[in-house]
Amino acid sequence: MARACFVRPAHQQHLPRAARFCVASRLGNLQVNEDNKPSCSKQQDEGEHTCQPHNYCSQINPIWTQEKNCTQSPERSSLIVSSSHLEVWRNIPTKGFLATPNKNTFFQKIQSNWSELDFQKYQTGFTGLYKCCLLVTAAANTFFLLGKRTSLFHLLRACCSHRPSFWLGNETLKVPVALFALNRRRLCDRLRQHKDVQKNSVVLLQGGEETQRYCTDTGIVFRQESYFHWTFGVTEAGCFGAVDVDTGRSMLFVPLLPESYAVWMGKIHPPEHFKKKYAVDEVHYVNEIASVLASKKPSVLLTLRGVNTDSGSISKEASFEGISQFNVNNKILHPEIAECRVIKTDMELEVLRYTNKISSEAHKEVMKAVKAGMKEYELESLFQHYCYTRGGMRHTSYTCICGSGENSSVLHYGHAGAPNDKTIEDGDLCLFDMGGEYYCYGSDITCTFPANGKFTPDQRAIYEAVLKSSRAVMKAVKPGVAWPDMHRLADRVHLEELTKIGILKGNVDDMVKVHLGAVFMPHGLGHLLGIDVHDVGGYPEGVERIDLPGLRSLRTARNLEQGMVLTIEPGIYFINHLLDQALRDPTQSCFINNDVLQRFRGFGGVRIEDDIAVTASGMELLTCVPRTVEEIEAFMAEGQGSTKSFGSLSKQKE
């Protein structure tokens, strides 16, 4: 029998069995001790247990934990509270209940509307759940509590088996659309605090549109515009969305499709379908947008217009026939919604854990399959195949970079002019930078390893130098740390290690002064990650780009905050263009031992890239792949040849 048991993702440290958070189907009794802390007792039958919750934590409206004193029976463990104890829950402080400001109304809703949870589906959908959730079975009028701490968005996440959610079946992640309701609420809360936002303001966003290949009628696979996805989670093209800032009430506008759509594209869904699918308050057709918005009598429409600090491109502002009759402000929304996107909610983190889990496993499949004689694109294909087959990832977060040999020093290799088409040779280092995307949330992982499974002494030396800088940064990451300082830390470690190898000579402090680190790592240490692989919010007002070698390539110069998700991707590359420049510069060439450097011409490069989430006291590593030289060599030796590549077409029988 499948246990209703919820554990952290496999890539995280496994909790002991007693710390796994479980539910049961029998009614128990709730007691409140003199400190107003809930505890429970249960008649102990054979194979069952008693549970003593403890530790009334105050972080996000926590109720209790059962981590230490709860043992697990063969089929279930229990902490169940009957609906007769609603008064206890009503007395819990409101802070942290993000889904609704009125808890009494909330309890009325869950008693009447929420159906019994299918635990088996839930276990498949969110295997990474480890925060506390309140679950409801309307039939039994029973409330379940699990795990460390609770708040209503955890509750909504737990109930996604029978609430609107995005799911591609099999073992893919089930993502509740409550994630986007919470995003809208966060945005409205932020806008209401803005001094220039008037009463009766309405946010208006325009989703992405279908595009074709140049002048043909060949469609390009649609991927939703990122701000629109963050706000509504809508997968269809051609939509608009609006949110009343005062009330949080949401409106979705969908295209009125012609009858011919049913012939070529499939069923035409009515507005009610989208209302249920995305859990919005109202759905209308796009051609009604002017009249519907006019009926709301908004004081102003807040539209999106701003510059993406990575691309320099301007976001597309919502526009429709009749917008001229409204008062429109396109200055306020962009910085506020971008700032919301910088800090991830727990539900967003769950999706990012999933994208990292699948992408990490795909990288491992590539490491097992690689061998001399293969084309780089064969490994790109294998990565994409695994991500789509096992993870439901139709898109990758960016163009796959599969550089072998000297190509591993080309930072954005894999473009149309260099389409991962080199034949991998024995002794090559492979630098594979690839990340899958699920429901628009991305990942960005780079693995560097020898094609033949064994590092040469030089390869090992450079690889371990980069690994050392990666680990130094991870150890230093915590809220309040300036990201440029992390870049400087990685640079310093590289210079120290290159000096030990003999490529450099002299005083490291003096090397830092002439920016020698940028010769070997010209890119930034890492970037924000989320719905966009280079996620927004890197340079808000007041954060300036540092115009110095290496540092100017940083995609953010912010201080770290809890809830940020970033990449840590130090690298050392031997790029002839940069090496030649440094040798011509007397302020830098004096530190370079050119005789030793010549041995590394044509070496390529090493990059180690992991995705991390900033926590209250440090960081959570989302990526899980072999990282040390010993781990990589052992993994490749164990798995080499276990994944078969496709046979040559020329050898197939006609």
For residue 430, which of 464, 462, 405 has the smallest C-alpha distance?
405
CA distance 518 to 532: 26
Judgement on whether residues 220 and 240 belong to the same structural domain of the protein: yes
CA dihedral 474→475→476→477, nearest 10 degrees, is: 40
Judgement on whether residues 132 and 258 belong to the same structural domain of the protein: no
CA distance 78 to 72: 8
pLDDT score of 45 more than 70 = no
Residue 575 pLDDT level (bands cut at 50, 70, 90): very high
pLDDT score of 490 more than 80 = yes
Judgement on whether residues 338 and 265 belong to the same structural domain of the protein: yes
Count of Cβ atoms closer than 10 Å to residue 16 Cβ? 9
pLDDT at 78: 28
Domain membership flag for residue 385: yes
Beta carbons of 538 and 310 less than 8 angstroms apart: yes
CA distance 560 to 567: 12
Beta carbons of 149 and 63 less than 8 angstroms apart: yes
pLDDT at 50: 32
Q: How far apart are the first and last CA of the chain?
A: 49
pLDDT score of 309 more than 70 = yes
pLDDT at 94: 36
Q: Which is it for strands 328-329 and 300-303: parallel, antiparallel or unpaired? A: parallel
Domain membership flag for residue 168: no
Q: What is the CA radius of gyration of the chain?
A: 27
pLDDT tens readout for residues 321-330: 999 999 999 9
Q: What percent of the chain shows pLDDT beyond 70?
A: 73
* Amino acid identity at 208: G
- Please state the φ and ψ torsions of residue 288, each to the nearest 5 degrees: -100, 5
Domain membership flag for residue 148: yes
pLDDT tens readout for residues 265-283: 999 999 999 999 999 999 9
CA distance 606 to 428: 12
pLDDT, mean of residues 164-184: 98
Query: How far from chain centre, in Å, is Cα 307?
Result: 22
The residue ranking higher by pLDDT, 445 or 102, is 445
pLDDT score of 619 more than 90 = yes
CATH number for the domain harbouring residue 619: 3.90.230.10
How many CA atoms lie within 13 Å of 327's alpha carbon, on the beta-carbon side? 10
pLDDT score of 8 more than 50 = no
pLDDT score of 360 more than 70 = yes
Which stretch of 7-21, 52-66, 116-130, 453-467 has the lowest confidence by average pLDDT? 52-66
CA distance 324 to 92: 47
How many CA atoms lie within 13 Å of 166's alpha carbon, on the beta-carbon side? 20
Residue that terminates a domain, selected from 342, 370, 401: 342
Tokens of 49: 């247990």
- Who contacts 502 (Cβ-Cβ below 8 Å, separation ≥6)? 593, 596
pLDDT at 105: 46
Judgement on whether residues 592 and 537 belong to the same structural domain of the protein: yes
Judgement on whether residues 320 and 374 belong to the same structural domain of the protein: no
Domain membership flag for residue 433: yes
pLDDT score of 452 more than 60 = yes
Please name every residue paired with 568 in a beta bridge, in sequence order, or none if there are none.
610
Domain count, the chain: 3
- DSSP per-residue letters across 70-87: ----SS----EEEGGGHH
Which stretch of 17-21, 212-216, 539-543 has the lowest confidence by average pLDDT? 17-21
pLDDT, mean of residues 398-412: 99
Judgement on whether residues 240 and 146 belong to the same structural domain of the protein: no
For residue 11, CA distances in Å to 74, 147, 238, 352, 354 come to 25, 19, 38, 13, 10
Please name every residue paired with 251 in a beta bridge, in sequence order, or none if there are none.
242, 282
Helix and strand numbers (H, E) in the chain are 20, 25
Residue 149 pLDDT level (bands cut at 50, 70, 90): very low
The residue ranking higher by pLDDT, 431 or 104, is 431
CA distance 426 to 453: 10
pLDDT score of 363 more than 70 = yes
For residue 378, which of 646, 639, 649 has the smallest C-alpha distance?
646
Residue that terminates a domain, selected from 342, 373, 397: 342
Judgement on whether residues 446 and 568 belong to the same structural domain of the protein: yes
Which stretch of 90-104, 324-338, 439-453, 491-505 has the lowest confidence by average pLDDT? 90-104
Domain membership flag for residue 174: no
Domain membership flag for residue 650: no
Place of tokens 């701003």: 306
Beta carbons of 615 and 562 less than 8 angstroms apart: yes
CA distance 145 to 210: 44
Domain membership flag for residue 298: yes
Average pLDDT value for the chain? 81
Residue that terminates a domain, selected from 327, 342, 357: 342
pLDDT at 162: 55
CA distance 143 to 135: 6
Predicted TM-score (pTM) of this structure? 0.78
Tokens of 361: 């496993």
In terms of C-beta distances under 8 Å and separation of at least 24 residues, what long-range contacts does 266-270 make, across chains too?
A: none
pLDDT tens readout for residues 108-137: 444 343 333 333 333 333 333 333 333 333
pLDDT score of 430 more than 70 = yes
Judgement on whether residues 507 and 420 belong to the same structural domain of the protein: yes
pLDDT at 386: 98
Residue 639 pLDDT level (bands cut at 50, 70, 90): confident
Beta carbons of 49 and 77 less than 8 angstroms apart: yes
SS3 call for 429? strand
CA distance 304 to 228: 10
Q: Is 531 exposed, middle or buried (0-12, 13-18, 19+ CB in 10 A)?
A: buried
For residue 315, which of 231, 254, 232, 225 has the smallest C-alpha distance?
225
pLDDT at 642: 58
Domain membership flag for residue 171: no
CA distance 404 to 424: 6
How many CA atoms lie within 13 Å of 279's alpha carbon, on the beta-carbon side? 20
pLDDT, mean of residues 331-354: 99
pLDDT, mean of residues 519-547: 99
Judgement on whether residues 350 and 337 belong to the same structural domain of the protein: no
pLDDT score of 201 more than 70 = yes
pLDDT at 385: 99
Judgement on whether residues 299 and 352 belong to the same structural domain of the protein: no
pLDDT, mean of residues 164-193: 98
- Characterize 359-390 residue by residue with b for buried, 16 or more Cβ atoms within 10 angstroms of its Cβ, and e for exposed: bbbbbbbbbbbbbeebbbebbbbbbbebbbeb
CA angle at residue 22 from 20 to 28, to 5 degrees?
A: 135
Judgement on whether residues 438 and 540 belong to the same structural domain of the protein: yes
SS3 call for 294? helix
Judgement on whether residues 269 and 370 belong to the same structural domain of the protein: no
Tokens of 19: 């710390």
Highest mean pLDDT among 39-43, 89-93, 375-379: 375-379
The residue ranking higher by pLDDT, 641 or 628, is 628
SS3 call for 457? helix
CA distance 111 to 92: 18
For residue 285, which of 295, 300, 272 has the smallest C-alpha distance?
272
Place of tokens 């709301």: 296
pLDDT at 196: 98
Domain that holds residue 622: 346-644
pLDDT, mean of residues 584-598: 99
CA distance 545 to 551: 8
Q: Is 500 exposed, middle or buried (0-12, 13-18, 19+ CB in 10 A)?
A: exposed
Residue 192 pLDDT level (bands cut at 50, 70, 90): very high
pLDDT at 641: 57
pLDDT at 163: 79
